[in-house]
Amino acid sequence: MLSVNTNYGAMIALQNLNKTNQDLSMTQNAINTGLRVSGPKDNGAIHAVAQGMRKDVLALNAVTNSLNRAVSAVDTAVAAGQALSDLITEMKEKAIAASDTSIDQNSREAYNADFVAMRDQIQKIVDNATFDGLNLIDGSTTKVEALANADGNAFVTVAAQVFSLGSTIVTIRATNTISTQDKASAMIATIETTLNALNLALAKLGTGSKKLNIHKSFVGKLQDELTKGVGNLVDADLAKESAKLQSLQTKQQLGVQALSIANQAPQVILSLFR
């Protein structure tokens, strides 16, 4: 129907052109940002889910940091324990030499001086086995806890061990010497007990370090999967968006032409009266 009051053709052409322009704007935004869903206006439900997943990824960064700190503290304790094991093994050598009944007193005193110096070094190693204020072998703490999840309500725990002089593990005391043959002989048994206990404690710390590293690896993989999931939800397929852009640009040009033709309809009415 031809009407001078309402140009239905132009109205429809304009609606179609506006829709094309809107789609074109969204496609251009997707190409510019690389995101199919860049905000709640694009898709509220998907944006909300993606934001929740992004929050979990960031929270897992804190978990990884906590695990790294715990691993470093445990590994520091292990390194110190290994140094102690080597040192105490040398002390055993001195004790065995000093237990020899055939040596003179001067030789025994020399062995004892070496022994005492090594004995005192034990506590220095223990006291300095600290990472970020945490020492797992001096008795100052009973355990190290690392965050295990993004909610902060689960932990990976490794028990501390006490390697100080006179402890249940290092039974050598701060006053022990090998200044006599009897003391040297007794010290050999003490050192054997210490080395057995020390190696067992080191095995526990090593297992704890492995446990922390396994969980850290899992958290890293979980972060990767969450990041991948966010990408699947919101990332734009640039190949598809590029093809869509060309199609919409062509459609826009055709829409402009259609609107131009529709706007000429009133001229047809005038021609009927000529």
CA dist 56 and 243 (Å) reads 34
DSSP classification of residue 191: H
92: confidence class by pLDDT, cuts 50, 70, 90: very high
Confidence check: pLDDT of 4 > 60: no
Q: Specify the pLDDT at position 269.
A: 58
- 3-state per-residue secondary structure call for 20-80: HHHHHHHHHHHHHHCECCCCCCCCHHHHHHHHHHHHHHHHHHHHHHHHHHHHHHHHHHHHH
pTM of the model: 0.74
The CA distance from 83 to 91, in Å, is 12
pLDDT at res. 230: 84
Q: Which of 8-12, 30-34, 188-192 has the highest mean pLDDT?
A: 188-192
- Of residues 76 and 243, the one with the higher pLDDT is 76
Mean pLDDT of all residues in 44-66: 91
Q: What pLDDT digit, counting tens, does each position of 207-227 carry?
A: 999 999 999 999 999 999 998
Tokens of 149: 């999840």
More confident site: 124 or 273? 124
Which residue in the block uniquely carries the two structure tokens 């206006």? 41
Which tokens in the block code for residue 135? 């020492």
Q: What pLDDT is stored for residue 246 in this prediction? A: 75
Burial 54-71 (b: 16+ CB within 10 A, else e): eebbeebeebbebbebbb
* Residues 205, 85 contacting (CB under 8 angstroms): no
Contact predicate 234/47, CB 8 Å: yes
| φ, ψ at 55 (rounded to 5°) | -60, -40
